[in-house]
Structures are given as C-alpha cells and as structure tokens.
Chains A and B, each alone.
Chain A
Amino acid sequence: MSAILETPVRAFESVSGAGAGEMLELAIGPHHPSTHGVFRMDVVLDGERVRRLKPVFGYLHRNHEKIAEGQSYLSSMPYTDRLDYFCSLTNNWAYALTVEKLAGLQVPERAEYIRVITAELTRVQNHLCLIGFLLQDMGASGTPLMYAFREREKILDLFESLTGARMMCNYMRFGGCRVDLPTGWMEEAQQVVQGLTRFLDEFEALLTGNEILMARTMHIGVLSSAAAVNAGVTGPMLRASGVNYDVRKVDRYGVYDRFDFRIPLGDHGDTYDRYLIRVLEMRESLKILRVALRDLPEGPVMDPKARLRGFRPKAGEAYGRIEAPKGELGFHLISDGSPNPFRYRVRPPSLMNLTVLEEMCMGRMLADVVVILGSVDIVLGEVDR
C-alpha cells in the first residue's frame, strides 16, 4: 500500500528528458472500437510498452445530479436507468433503497423477492455481455458476443413483459415495485434460468480452457488486494484480487440473507481471474434465482402506507448501497424537507474501478491495455453520469 502512495501521480505533462524522442504520445479514444463507450486514454508509449496512462472522461457527462436537484425524487427514477444502461433494474433498486432509508419506508416481502430475482437476472445478462465484449476486444470478432446477446434477448423479453421496456425499466418504487408479475411470468423465468444453466456450460466449454484466451489474459493486468482496497475498487474486480467483500453479504440488504450462495475469490488478480470470477458469479446468481423463483411468497408488491404523491422525506441524509453487477453502487441523498432532493449524488463503481487502470497497464503492451480495460467493466453512463 505504501509503495503506491510514495510515487506521486503527476498530471500529464509533455514528455521530455533523455529518450524523449523515442516516446510516442497517443490518444486512444474517445472514438475507438475497443473503448467501452466514449472514453479516452492518453498513453505514452515506449515502442509497444506503456509508460504512462491517463484516463480522460466527461464525454458523456449528462448532468444527472444537477437535473435531479431540480425535480422530485420520483422523477429521477427513470434517470437512474440511464446510469449503467445495461443494468437498469439494479440502479433502480439502489436508488429506491436509499430513498427508503431516508424516509424510513418498509418494503413488502414479495417485492423484496421480486427485486432479488430481477437483480440477479440483471447480473447474469451484464456478465454475459461483458464476457462477450471482452472476447470481441481480443479479436474473437463477434461470435461470443452473438451468443451472449442471444441469451440476453431472452432475459430482456422477461423484463419487457414485466416492466414494459427492454432496457430502461423504471420498475422500482419507494416502498416496493411498480406492478406485480404478469400471469405466466414465473414459469417463463424458470425456463429461462434452466436454459441459461445449460448455456453457461456450453459457453464455458468454448472459452474457459481456450488457449488464446488464457495466453492473452493470464498474468496480465495484475492488481494486488491492498491496492484494490485502498483505491476503492469493488465488485468482481475486487474479488478477483482475493478480497472477500460483497455488499450482499456485508450489508445483507433485501432478503439476501435467506439465500445460500458463495462468493468466488481470485488468487492472482489478473484479467483471467476477473473473467473467471464473473462466470462463477453467474452460476451463483442462477442458484439464487432457482431458489427465489421457488420460494416467492404471495402478497402486495407495494407498501400500502407508501405515498408517492407529495413525497417529502424529512430533512436529513442517507447513504444507501447495493452490490450492482459492476461493483458497489451507492446513492447519497441529502434532503431539506422539500419535494426535491437538496443533494443527489451517485457513487459510480466504474469510476472507482478506473482509479487503478494506470498501474495495471504499466509496462504492458498496447494490445494488453485494451484487454485490461475490457476486464474492468466500465460503462460511461455511470462514470460520467
């Protein structure tokens, strides 16, 4: 830990000094096929080796926090969909959880189970897409991505029949969920989960033992556990470095303490571990889904005492967080008793995970930078808000 802090990270100055003539300054992005969104990296290369790397973002800064200050709490719910646009339902849950903490609202049991089901489905489709994009960046042009998106479409069909939209679901409300499950949804979901289990076996058979994948990801982009903790890295990236910290187990929010699931941990903290952790997490999510779909209780999906019109939480503040597929997604809300939040802040996991990008890429070749960035799993909607 002390080694990182003793080397100060300098602002990106123009390269000078001995050997300066041989260094190449390159701006990768904001438009580049391998950056996951409009993300730019300014790298200084010595041949193929990276000597310095500075991420530049803000190209998708859409002023979500400022807009939220000017409208009511509920109006910001559709905007949370657009933060991490792959995982709109977990974003909704994090926001609803924070507002429920702020206002002291209770959530009925059925709603909690539905939240767990939708969150785990979101986790599965996010990790699938991520693996697809990672392989696409590695040059497996399109095939794993096609498989991943094919399965994702099945999950999106479930979301559409439940919430009305494929991606921007806007489903959670303060005190529960917007609508109850339609008839036949449970059976369809169970079939999708069964199909996904078989699909994961097929997907892994093609990828996990694949020589090219292993050669391009093993010992690449190593992140030590101490560096990860100090840099605020969370999610699969943290667990790949061997730190056992999953907000589902630590905070036990929702009804997660009723489910028996393991937390996979990595040994090396390299890109291959980050890939494998995500595959294992998908399997654990399917385990949770099977139990949750079986045990879903009857009841209302919305707290009968919750009042959405004229919602004015008492003055105060709350910080709520969940284990989103990318890491710890937190919301910090400060209320002054009015219908609009006084301060609305999103704690984006992708932004924190980018803190260590430079040290993971240091000394590696340019082609590895792309793969390492792919394994960090960023979404610019979240990084820039």
Chain B
Amino acid sequence: MEVTDQELKIDLQKQGVLMTSLNELYNWGRKNSVWPLQFGLACCAIEMIAASMARYDLARFGAEVFRPSPRQADLMIVAGTVTKKMAPQVVRLYNQMAEPKYVIAMGACAISGGPFKQGYNVLKGIDRYLPVDVHIPGCPPRPEALLHAFMTLQNKIASQPLTGPARPRHLRAGAPSEFSVPQCGPHGLVPPSNPAVWRPPTAAQAG
C-alpha cells in the first residue's frame, strides 16, 4: 500500500497536486530549518565554517544562520575536542537550548576523545553527558561529511512519528530535556559520566 501511495503521490505532484499527511508536513518544516548553534571548539570548527562558506554551503540545507545564542538554536554541532574544563559549559549550553534539539558529534575527538584520548584533560566523547544523534568520524571530517551528517539528521527527523512510543523527546511529557552538569573536581570531572546517558562498555559485551 505504501508503494502505490508513493507512485500516486509522485504522479499527482507532476501535475501540480501535493498530497501529504500531518506527520510528513510537520517533519518537513522541522527538518528544513534546523539552525545550528555557533559552537566550534577546535580544528573541526574550521571545517564546519568551511562547510557554511560559499563552496560547500550548508545554508541550502536549511542551516541558514548559525545562532550565537543557544536559546535560538536547534542543533549543537560539537566540533572539536571536549576537554574536562569545557565539558560543564557544553552541557550547560545544551540545557539552555529549547526542545526539539539535536546534537551532532563532529570529529573523532567529540565521539571518543580522538587522537588525544590519553590526555588527562580530555573528555573521552561528549556522549558521556549528552545524547548524540549523529556521529561523524574523521579528523577532521571533510565538509562533505558534515553535509552528509546533516542530511542523515534530516532523514532521522523525517522518520519520526508524531504519536506512539517512538515519538521524539519534545512530544513526550516525561522525557528529560536537561541533563546534569558535571563539576570540575580535584582530579577530573565529577561524575566521570552521566549514567542516564552513557554506560561504559563491559568486558562481557565485548566477548
């Protein structure tokens, strides 16, 4: 039934008649105007800026402006190494963003600490404290990779249903949208990770 519907829709579209459902329309509006937060930490930030410049042009995907204020942004692209000194600020900024909000972890450092993983001041991945929607591997990932990640996020948004258990976080009353901010303790962050968001992989899982 879905396939016939799609063919019928395309035929009608060619004749200038648009058929859609509320779900599709809702998601179409949301995915085509995702405004990122102007938030670059390190080297990946430069590739992010290059992706928003004339050659790669992130704006044609809807990321028209990078908002400096978290209150006005939908997407936080964590571009660069998150250090333990910076981690509380990152989480605070995420908490200040209004729902619906998304996180892209750009680059190896944001995913897992990257080449600096052994560092005493390096947080081994921002997903220890925040839920990440899309991970982009690379050091740094090319601007095309960021565009692909953006499209992946858009597909993810497009596939979210409005009702049912799989509906997004901002439509579920009890789902948390703020996460606890870690403190800088005497030897590292306290707590070292947020158990609600991330659990360390165990040896049993690896076997």
Contact = CB atoms under 8 A, between A and B. Distances in A.
Interface in A165-219: 166-168
B54 A37 contact: no
Given A82-B115, A167-B140, A168-B140, A60 B53 contact: no
B55 A150 contact: yes
A33 B37 CA distance: 10
A30 B38 CA distance: 12
Interface stretch (A62-70, A106-114, A254-262, A277-285): A62-70
Nearest to B55: A153
Interface in A50-76: 58-64, 66-67, 70
B46 to A, nearest CB: 6
Given A31-B93, A33-B68, A67-B119, A62 B43 contact: no
B142 interface: yes
A253 interface: no
A31 B42 contact: no
Interface in B132-147: 139-140, 142
Interface residues of B, number: 32
**For the complex, would chain A's binding face be called helix, strand, loop or mixed by DSSP majority?**
loop
Contacts of B89: 30-31, 38, 59
Interface string A286-298: 0000000000000
B119 A82 contact: no
B157 interface: no
B113 to A, nearest CB: 10
Interface string B47-72: 10110011100000000000010000
B54 A66 contact: no
Contact of A166 (B68, B80, B122, B142): B142
A70 B119 CA distance: 11
Interface string B154-167: 00000000000000
A346 interface: no
B86 A62 contact: no
Contacts of A33: 38, 68
A149 B42 contact: no
A85 interface: yes
Contacts of A349: none
Given A63-B121, A168-B140, A38 B86 contact: yes
Interface string A31-45: 111000110000000
B85 interface: yes
A344 interface: no
B42 A60 contact: yes
A223 interface: no
Contact of A149 (B50, B83, B118): B50
Contact of B43 (A32, A59, A61, A167): A167
A334 interface: no
B28 interface: no
Contacts of B47: 166-167
Interface in A153-167: 153, 166-167
B54 A60 contact: no
Interface residues of A, number: 32
Given A61-B83, A62-B83, A85 B42 contact: yes
B41 interface: yes
A37 B83 contact: no
Nearest to B41: A38
Contact of B121 (A37, A62, A82, A152): A62
B42 A82 contact: yes
Contacts of B83: 58-62
B81 interface: yes
A61 B85 contact: yes
B43 A168 contact: yes
A59 B119 contact: no
A373 to B, nearest CB: 16
A145 interface: yes
B116 interface: yes
A144 B45 CA distance: 18
A149 B80 contact: no
Interface string B69-111: 0000000000011010110010001000000000000000000
A66 B38 contact: no
B131 interface: no
Given A70-B118, A168-B139, A30 B42 contact: no
A37 B119 CA distance: 20
Interface string B10-43: 0000000000000000000000000000111111
Contacts of B142: 166
A240 interface: no
18 contacts: A30-B89, A37-B40, A38-B41, A38-B89, A59-B85, A61-B83, A61-B85, A62-B42, A63-B116, A63-B121, A66-B119, A66-B120, A146-B53, A150-B55, A153-B50, A167-B43, A167-B140, A168-B43
In the A-B complex, the 5 residue pairs with the closest CB atoms? A63-B119, A85-B43, A33-B68, A149-B53, A62-B116
Interface of A: 30-33, 37-38, 58-64, 66-67, 70, 78-79, 82, 85-86, 145-146, 149-150, 152-153, 166-168, 380-381
Given A62-B116, A67-B116, A67-B119, 18 more contacts: A30-B86, A31-B39, A31-B93, A37-B45, A38-B86, A58-B83, A61-B83, A63-B119, A67-B118, A82-B43, A146-B53, A149-B53, A149-B54, A150-B55, A153-B50, A167-B46, A168-B43, A381-B43
